[in-house]
Amino acid sequence: MFSYWLDDQAELRPLEPWNAAELLRCVDSARERLAAWTHLAHRVVDLPSARRLLQDYADRQAHDTGRYLGIWEGGELVGGALFRSFDARLGVCEVGVWVVPSARGRGLATRALWTMTDWALRTRGLYRVEMRTSPANAETRAIAERLGMRREGTLRQAFAVGGVRHDSEVWAVLRDEWLGGRPAPGGTFAARRG
């Protein structure tokens, strides 16, 4: 197992199928907010559905096409960060993140995505990291800006959540941009292996 420390109390580490109960509790505590922006609140509704989601991502990780990581603070799951898609052959991936209300506003989501973006571009050698969000989701747009991503355009009514159609902004950063001097938000991140 591996983990990346985001600060003195928070770490980013894999979410596995055996973490389904923790994921369900975490989603339940953020369900109202998540329901407006993501499929997660509609997809994880009980223990079997939480386990199915995590098994899906475990299978993706085994095929190197995606992965789901948990954001843990003081040993408690407070959010998730994921490679929704990961294509090493094409050199492109898409990231996403969410945290429970009590963990918002402290930079955990930004630091989690910074760590994942750096790993994808520096360690795995990908060329492009994307993030997609609704133009109305100001918090996620702000994370993209803090990561140095550029807004590349809007896909009109590209996805539906809870029966509501949303536009999808495409944000991205390229490897040359990232390696050209992306400072770590809030300090340096060090990997811990255990």
Summarised one tens digit per residue, pLDDT across range 127-161 is: 999 999 989 889 999 999 999 999 999 999 988 87
- Are 146 and 110 a contacting pair, CB within 8 Å? yes
Across 13-23, average pLDDT: 97
Across 57-65, average pLDDT: 97
Across 27-45, average pLDDT: 89
- HSE toward the beta carbon, residue 34, CA cutoff 13 A: 22
CA distances from 34 to 30, 75, 126, 139 (A): 6, 22, 29, 12
Provide the token pair at 33. 């907010």
List the chain domain ranges.
2-187
- Are 189 and 182 a contacting pair, CB within 8 Å? no
Reported as type and span, the H/E element at residue 40 is: helix 40-43
Q: What is the pTM of this model?
A: 0.89
pLDDT category at 186 given cuts 50, 70, 90 is very low
Q: How many CB atoms lie within 10 A of CB 127?
A: 14
Q: Which pLDDT does position 151 carry in this prediction?
A: 96
2-187 to CATH, choices 3.30.450.20, 3.40.630.30, 1.10.1060.10, 3.30.70.360: 3.40.630.30
Q: Which pLDDT does position 79 carry in this prediction?
A: 96
